[in-house]
Structure 1
Amino acid sequence: MRDLEITAENKMHDTIRNIAYDADRKDAFFVSRPHEIIEKYNQWENLLPDIQPHYVVKCNYDRQVLHTLKALQSSFSCSSKTEVTKLMSMGVNAERIIFSCPIMLSSHVKLAKSYKLSTITFETKADLEKIHTIYPEAKLIICAGPTDCKDEFKFGCGTIQEFFNLLQTAKSLGLDVIGIKFHTYSGYRNANNFSQIISTYMDSFIDAGFNLKLLDIGDTILNEEDLFNIAVEVRCITDMYECFKKGTAKIIAEVGRFFVSSAYTLACKIDDIRELTNTTNIHRIYHINHDKYNFSCVYSDVPIVPKPLKTHNNKTLYASSIWGPSNNEEDQIVENVNLPKMSMGDWIIFENMGAYTSPESSGLDIIYTDNENNIYLDNPLMETEQFSDDITVPNNTSVRNMIILPFYSDNMTAGNHRLKYIHLSDAFNY
């Protein structure tokens, strides 16, 4: 299995080299592999078949990502008007959207009502008052935060008493609270007492006089290890409560990084090199053609690992740092890393860049590949278009996982790769 993974990685690096060097490309670019999203979705369904994933749109709202997940029958979690509007324009059913804003503005509630979004979250008394005034028929989910959160700007109710009091307010207003959302903060890695914390909140929910119909375990899963750990914890929860045994309540999860992080690689070119020397060491400073402010994940707990795109025969490594193109002292992307000696015009790649890096809004090209490393261009996925004289997608198509990409003529090439029509459900053998 490891040999297969290495082979796949080498093929992907070859593809990026073709794109970077064959076309003498000047600008940084993303390479996206939508089939990895499908593979992650398969992993999810195999390990957590009873938990419906709701993709966190703000994690990566590249339209290819959204169309892929829509075709996989994923549901979605939105935190802004823009995200809701984008999904509705794609034809996503309102029943598959949870509107979850840390601060629910009156305009948010009006938008939810106008689109008939049946499920929205709340976490303050002010939220409840707005909902009561504008959209009292909405189905509500109360947000609960981890009780061990030390962050001054935490989201969700941080104490059981706060949680219970808010439920009492909802009851006095006659609002329909159907469930709980466990709202974790970035970097929350405490799966060991996950079920215990949720159980405490669930008991309080029942004591407040509500019938639990939905439990949202939040965005707690970042990788395969988390998937296994949470699967165990969720089984503990379902074994403890009759509502899950009887099927009157369901569990959902908000999933972001797990689906999209590994599907994107960022390639950047070295535009300037400087050296700092002292009596014993040389520190090499590489300035690349993409700045820190487009590396949103720099501000999270996820490590950024640079890799030279070229193979270096000299195995000597040098203390190095990576910076954006500005002279701003805040534009440091990687503070300290050991790298081989690289030259002007060399390329550095950053893997696992699909989450919170804003590929679509970065202004960079996004170049898509399938699992055979064929390349196709950044064009919207279309479901109701005629791409050539002999390829037509019917308007009423409902085939699961059928995602159609634009058709290219056989004489279009990129590097050593021929651009071609790709039907994802065939290309990914899904």
Structure 2
Amino acid sequence: MGLSFDCASKIEIQKILELGVDPSRIIYANTNKPLSFIKYAADNGVSMMTFDCEDGLIKIKKVYPDAKLVLRISPQSNYKVKLDLGKKFGCHPLKASKLLEMAMNLKLNVIGVSFHVGHGCLETGAFAAAIEQSRKVFDIGLAMGFDMHLLDIGGGFPGEIIQNVETNITFEEIAEVANKALDDFFPEKDVRIIAEPGQYYVSSAFTVAVNIITKKIFTDKDTLSPDGDFLDKPTVQNEPTRMYYVNDGIYGCFLLCLTDPGCFVPSHFKDSDEELHNSTIWGPTCDSLDLVIENVKLPELTTGDWIFFKDMGAYSFTTASSFNSMPKVKEYFICEKNYGICSALNYLPIDLASNENVDLNRSVRLKYHT
């Protein structure tokens, strides 16, 4: 497929090299690198890496002066993204000339520019703006005498359409805008364009199934009469909320819910014509921040029922911890008969997966999601 690899750490580089991947197909794209990690890259011929500050250049000069460097910028625009990575990574485009000048004085080799518009891009114009700003930095490098021949347009590409955000842009829509901007600002045929579409590739490959371990009916103050008595027949506006506590949460596969509430949409095995109720899904830990989603409409569920979440391939089980000594999820490979290969990976919290009383046949239905 012609794919290469974006690595963020020594361990990731090591894993990719152990697969037999040539070092030239790896970019060490974490701008914040310990000296020992840079030395490991040098010892193994992983020469392409990013930087965004003076300290980064000094460290690279010290242990890997022959590295092929890519200057990461922080695109400046008002386009909406769910998580702005520019707060942590990248230099302001106006500071790029000083960093390039420092690289020149250190006799380092800068070969290109990179950016990342942010996680969960909500407006396609973010890519056009970032590509235009990259062109300006690119030209500064060329004017200084660097052999600039690479542009990394980063990630931010969606996988499956997310159901509960204000803008549901698709990969195809982003590609249309990005390709036009590349034609306008990087028409040269000798400039290599790379990207980081990890979320696009892996999102739909994974499904998480969670089990309801506790159910509670929550009645807030709006369901009380003026005299302080509970209303026997609450209206739709003050219907009690069904609180479902499940065996995975933000310390497991749902970390993104901290910064992007409601980003994972629950599905269930009930009939589609059942009455829906105000519901909230909580994780299993003792932390009140352990909230998966609130104010979602679900049918009447009970303890022991299963809820599942599609499109969980990105930023899920890889971020799981054992907070409160909660067990991590157990992974199951699901093989589709019509493909004859393992085409999907679904996983369940490990404690319930080993419970003899759990009807795992219900979770097998998830195998049709590939």
**Band of TM-score, shorter chain:** 0.7 to 0.9
Q: For residue 119 of structure 2, give the secondary structure of its aligned residue in structure 1.
A: coil
Aligned-partner SS, 2:107: coil
What SS class does the counterpart of residue 278 from structure 2 fall into? strand
CA contact (8 A) 2:267 2:308 kept: yes
How many angstroms does 1:139 deviate by? 0.7
User: Counterpart of 2:12 in 1: which secondary structure?
Assistant: helix
Task: Provide the TM-score with structure 2 as the length reference.
Answer: 0.75
Answering whether residue 250 of structure 2 is matched by residue 292 of structure 1, we say yes
CA distance in structure 2 between the partners assigned to 1:170 and 1:188 by the alignment: 31
> Which residue of the partner structure matches residue 103 of structure 2?
170
If asked which structure has higher relative contact order (CA below 8 Å, sep 6+), I would say 1
Query: How far does residue 312 in structure 1 lie from its aligned partner after superposition?
Result: 2.8
Does the Cα contact within 8 Å between 2:119 and 2:155 map onto a contact in 1? no
Contact 2:281 2:293 (C-alpha < 8 Å) held by counterparts:
yes
Matched, 1:249 2:207: no
Cα distance in 1, alignment partners of residues 114 and 85 from structure 2 = 18
Shift in alpha-carbon separation, 1:311–1:416, aligned structure 2, 3 A:
closer
Distance 1:345-1:250 versus aligned 2 partners, 3 A rule: same
Partners of 2:255 and 2:48 lie apart in 1 by 29
Separation (CA, whole Å) in 2 of partners of 1:101 and 1:286: 39
Task: Name the structure 1 match of 2:41.
Answer: 112
Contact 1:306 1:349 in 2 (8 A): yes
Quick one: which amino acid aligns to residue 196 of structure 2? Answer: E
Rate the CA distance shift 1:326–1:415 in 2: closer, same or farther, 3 A: closer
Tell whether 2:308 aligns with 1:349. yes
Find the counterpart in structure 2 of residue 233 from structure 1: 178
Question: Shift of residue 271 of structure 1?
Answer: 0.8
CA–CA distance in structure 1, aligned partners of residues 320 and 20 of structure 2: 22
* Separation (CA, whole Å) in 1 of partners of 2:362 and 2:271: 23
**Amino acid in structure 2 at the alignment position of 1:156:** G
Q: Distance in 2 between matches of 1:152 and 1:377?
A: 35
Q: How does 1:53-64 map to 2 (within 5 A)?
A: none
Which deviates the most, 92-101 or 171-180?
92-101
Give the aligned partner of residue 331 of structure 2: 366
Could you tell me how far apart the structure 2 residues matched to 1:416 and 1:348 are? 10
1:148 aligns with 2:93: no
1:339 — aligned with what?
298
Picking from 201, 210, 214, the partner of 2:150 is: 214
Deviation at 1:416, TM superposition (A): 11
Contact 1:297–1:355 (Cα < 8 Å) also in 2: no
CA distance in 1, matches of 2:122, 2:141: 24
What is aligned with 1:303? 263
Q: Contact conserved, 1:216 with 1:251, CA < 8 A, in 2? A: yes
**Cα distance between partner residues in 1 of 2:311 and 2:290:** 20
Aligned-residue offset at 1:368: 2.2
**Offset of residue 370 of structure 1:** 4.1
Deviation at 1:361, TM superposition (A): 6.0
Alignment length, in residue pairs? 309
The amino acid of 2:14's aligned partner reads T
Give the equivalent residue in structure 2 for 1:92.
21
The 1:211/1:359 distance shift into structure 2, 3 A limit, reads closer
Residue of structure 2 equivalent to 1:199: 135
Taking the TM superposition and a 5 Å limit, the aligned residue runs for 1:122-141 are 122-141=51-70
Distance 1:360 1:292, change over 3 A: closer
Identity fraction in percent:
32
Corresponding position of 1:161: 94
What SS does the aligned partner of 1:293 have? Answer: coil
- Give the secondary-structure state (helix, strand or coil) at the position aligned to 2:94: helix
Distance 1:355 1:416 in 2: 24
Deviation at 1:287, TM superposition (A): 0.7
Root-mean-square deviation over aligned CA pairs: 3.0
Deviation at 1:207, TM superposition (A): 3.2
Distance 1:133 1:360, change over 3 A: closer
Distance 1:378 1:219, change over 3 A: closer
